[in-house]
Amino acid sequence: MRQSRIAAGACSLLLGAACAFADPATAQPVPEAVAAGYVALGDSYSSGAGAGDYLPSDTRCKRSGRSFPVLWAEAHKPPSFGFTACNGAGTTDVLEGQLGPLGAGTGLVTVTAGGSDVGFSTAMTTCALGGTSRCLSAVSSARSAMDRALPGNLDRLYSAIRDRAPAARVVVLGYPHLYRLSGSCALGLTDSDRAAVNDAVDHLDEVIAERAAGHGFTYADVRAAFTGHEICSSSPWLHSVDLLAITESYHPTAPGQSLGYLPVLDRAS
């Protein structure tokens, strides 16, 4: 256990350099030389939708100066930083439009992807507006997509990342539970709906973690970090549904990025 902690710290400092004591479960190909560039790929959870302070270069993608990739880059000062994550991106979007900054000099890659592939945002809109029966049906459809199409989509994306960044440490981050059950919300979804949503998140994270491991990538689970900070908790780090700012709904707030995702990435990188 002590060696694993020491190795994890060394890996963080060297951004993917050889780690003789790396945990076998997360060991990745050892580069011949230290590569230190950082590239952040993925969907809205990586771009920082919901965190505010959006960068003026591309407002469509909702890339936030408070997102965990920007905060990590500011803290660790990598020689290069490619930030191509974009709100609403599915695995195909990442594959076809975000991999440009990857290369032999990339030492760290982070990615969140999968939620858009299975129509999770559509399911949440249905749950917010359509009642229990329609909510449970929409969540069930999303779960089916997780088993049917998502594994292959993730495999294609992960293979392309490794091909383009052969020396990189790749950290795949998951998604948090959205709701605290029996929490403070007096209106909105029933607890049975909320439980179904959380169960679907668990299944999504399981699929992502399995495929990440299959490619030798590190999976970073954020659910524990968000425990006690879900929607309907006393101190939520996630936005509830907001019909006037729909792209903010069900996304991490600025504290969700800085206190939820960032420490998890620090430990994994």
| Superfamily name with CATH number, domain 35-268 | SGNH hydrolase (3.40.50.1110)
Token pair for residue 232? 């309907």
**C-alpha to C-alpha distance for 12 and 169, rounded to whole angstroms:** 10
Under a CB-based contact definition with an 8 Å cutoff, are residues 79 and 37 in contact?
A: yes
Residue 85: the pLDDT is 98
Give the dihedral sign, CA 150/192/121/130: positive
pLDDT of residue 131: 85
Query: Which residue type, as a one-letter code, is found at position 10?
Result: A
Q: Write down the pTM of the prediction.
A: 0.85
d(CA 196, CA 181): 11
Catalytic residues: 44, 251
pLDDT of residue 7: 37
Tens digits of residue pLDDT in 136-160: 999 999 999 999 999 999 999 999 9
Closest alpha carbon to 219 in 263, 175, 174: 174
Q: What 3-state class would DSSP assign to 76?
A: helix
Q: Where are the domains of the chain?
A: 35-268
All residues at 6 or more sequence positions from 43 whose CB lies less than 8 Å from its CB, including other chains: 85, 86, 87, 88, 89, 90, 94, 112, 113, 115, 116
Q: What are phi and psi of 250, to 5 degrees?
A: 60, 25
pLDDT at 11: 37
In angstroms, rounded to a whole number, what is the distance separating the alpha carbons of residues 85 and 97? 9
> Across the beta sheet with 81-83, what order do the strands follow?
81-83, 37-42, 106-112, 169-173, 218-220
Q: For 238, which DSSP code?
A: B
Looking at residue 148, its pLDDT comes to 94
Question: What is the structure's pLDDT at 244?
Answer: 76
In this prediction, the residues of the chain whose per-residue pLDDT falls under 70 are: 1-35
- Span 172-209, pLDDT tens digits: 999 999 999 988 887 888 999 999 999 999 999 999 99
